[in-house]
A = this chain, B = another copy of it.
Amino acid sequence: MRTPGSRLRDAVLGAPQETERLRRLSLPRRQAMPVFGADGVSSLAYSPDEVVMVLALAGTAALSLAPWVGLLIAVTLLLVIGTYRYNLREVARSGGDFQVVSDRLGPRAGTAAGVSLLFDFVLTAAVSAAAASSYLVTLLPSLAGHRVGICLVIIAVLTAVHLRGIGLIGRLNPVPAYLFVLLVGVLVAVGLAQDAAGTLGPAPSADYGIQPGRQVESVVTGAGLALLVLRAFSSGAVGLTGVESVSNSARFFRRPRARGASQTLLAMGLVSAVFLVAVLHLVRATGAVVVMDPRQLVIDGATAPADLHQMPLLAQVSRAVFGDGLLGALVPIATVLVLLVAPAAAYSGFPVLASAMARRGYLPVHLNARLNRAVYANAVLLLGVAACLVVLAFGAQVNDLIQLYVLGVLFSMSLTQAAVIRTRHRSIRLVLDRLPRKRLIRDQLVTCVGFAATVLGLLIVLVTKLVQGAWVTVLVVVVGTWLCLRIKCHYERVDEELAVRENNPLKALPSRVHAMVVIPRLRLPALRALAYARASRPSSIEALVLNIDETRTHRIRALWDRYEVPVPLTILAAPFRDPVAPVVRHVRRFLKRSPRDVVVVYIPDYVVEHWWQALLHHRLSRRLVRALRREPGVITAVVPWRLGREDGQDVPDPTQTPRVVDGQAPGEPAASETTQTAEGQR
């Protein structure tokens, strides 16, 4: 079974893994925390930039609002996490958000939640790659102009690595994640100390001027300002992502699962919240700026070119605090590394969610096929391809991708919380003991607050981002949900059609089996097919010869006579030289006369030694099989001849009569260490 093809497949997809081992696979908390927490923490690489970019639309003055917006986001994040921890037990018990929502709010809501989460995982991979490419260009400016290419390479490599499964990831990921938290911690501490001591230097972009963006020039007061803050909030809300991946990946935590996931959430939330506010404070203190359109910038009195690469804020702060040397480059390097490991949560969450949806019939079965690999390889590949397509469609600028990003997270979070509220509502009614009832009511209240927060966030994002690009997400979720429901519909119809029922109109076995043997040329494979057909002792048998070439047909008839083959020969007219249609017509005609019979068409087939030899032979057998599959009551039996590997010793004399063996003898029980036989009663 070790063909070059399968060896290549093993090299790409990893070695086969036993089901039992995979079932027991889970990560200890010290590994799981960095693997699934990295997603949330790594958003520090781009969320400050998103806040500042929106505020910069209103000019330099508005930038002083940045830390306050950061605080708003941090509070929301902690609120969501604080309340989400109360959902974790429910979610982990069902398997994930999709299952919770499906079971409590119905399949439509569940599917919508699933689709938006899937799209979100795709964007996690795309955004992380885009941000990593931005930091890479900061470190190596000569790479500027190749950012889309860099993104595609990163996604390809990540996809290849994640095909190996979570075991490898668990060993790889902790280092960059802990390193990043450590280095940013040092950066923040040193930066704040310098700020207090008054020795904090200016950022590389501190002396850039900002021309206000055209559309907001006149609205910097009152309602305009509030809208701007809301927009900044909704952009910075990418800091909230990561929560959903932890809760969907609970199954990879070692038991007790909910507790491990909960602690991870808390740690991640605290680190992200504190760092976000601190970094935004340092941004204001160092005067660092980034803008959406570089042409807004005035450098040395001139407008900047449109393709200027802007250094991300975290890198700018690092330069300001540690200087331009190696020390200042450490944080950007750690950021690239953490951005490379951040999508691990998406890469493990996507296949788990996709397979859960496929298992329930909302996605193609292939996504639930682990074959003999460690992961649902089809789903991982799908994620990689989808992320590449997103980058190709929307570019490698984090700011462009972010517009699509937050909506799906907040949407699925809201649905999950609604589902949890509903479940608990029922529990509260049923539980009559005072103490547990009280605890349930408390949990319910917390979840309600969280629900309010995510719904509010969702509304803000919808209002401020719909035209910016969130419509793409809405479209994807709507169309995706519709497709999933259609798929479910198909599977249900098939299940309905194929189900075995007690009251099935069970009929007798087919009365007779008629064998037809296609004889393209009178050579050994044809003789073998003939012999095998006869050995199966059909009720009746005939050999089919297509009269494409008169000479050849005559030769077959002559040989037939000489060898005295005891099988009637039917010569089919083929005035158009088509070798398939006459056989199909013949079979149809036969079944019209004897509709209760079964026809078995025996087709001799070559198997070549080398792939290129396949180019030298007709594929008559495949064409026949394909055509006959569509005929009712027809079995196609392919009798292979392996070219160059058969001695022909087993080709039987077609003129002999088969030995009579008692009919319907049960097979000898096939016993070995890997099989067990259960004999049905008769």
Chain A residues near B (Cβ < 8 Å): 1, 16-20, 364-366, 369-372, 487, 490-491, 493-494, 497-500, 504-514, 522-525, 527, 531-532, 534-542, 548, 557, 559-561, 563-573, 575-578, 581-582, 584-586, 589-590, 596, 598, 600, 602, 605-607, 613, 615-618, 625, 627-646, 648-653, 655-661, 663-670, 672, 674-682
Contacts and interface: CB of A to CB of B under 8 A. Distances in A.
A505 to B, nearest CB: 6
A586 B509 contact: no
Interface centre among A498, A582, A663, by most B CB within 10 Å? A498
A664 B616 contact: no
State the 6 A-B residue pairs at the shortest beta-carbon distance, nearest first.
A566-B682, A372-B576, A506-B653, A540-B667, A498-B523, A637-B637
Contacts of A17: 576
Given A506-B653, A537-B537, A616-B487, A576 B513 contact: no
A511 B660 CA distance: 9
Contact of A536 (B513, B672, B682): B513
A590 to B, nearest CB: 6
A388 to B, nearest CB: 20
Contacts of A585: 674
A644 B498 CA distance: 10
A568 B629 contact: no
A682 B564 CA distance: 6
A656 B664 CA distance: 12
A437 B513 CA distance: 68
- How many of these chains are in the complex? 2
A668 B540 contact: yes
A531 B514 contact: no
B576 A19 contact: yes
Contacts of A511: 659, 661
Given A498-B523, A643-B497, A506 B652 contact: yes
A1 B656 contact: no
Contacts of A589: 670, 672
A537 B536 CA distance: 7
B498 A524 contact: yes
A641 B499 CA distance: 13
A121 to B, nearest CB: 21
B1 A584 contact: yes
A31 B600 CA distance: 51
Nearest to A652: B509
A504 B606 CA distance: 20
Given A487-B616, A638-B625, A500 B514 contact: no
Contacts of A668: 540
A569 B618 contact: no
Q: Which of A17, A535, A618, A656 has the most B CB atoms < 10 Å from its CB?
A: A535
Nearest to A682: B566
Most central of A566, A632, A635, A641 by chain B CB within 10 Å:
A635
Contacts of A584: 1
A510 B652 contact: yes
Contacts of A509: 531, 534-535, 652-653, 656-659
A503 to B, nearest CB: 12
Given A537-B664, A584-B1, A665-B539, A571 B675 contact: yes
A664 B657 contact: yes
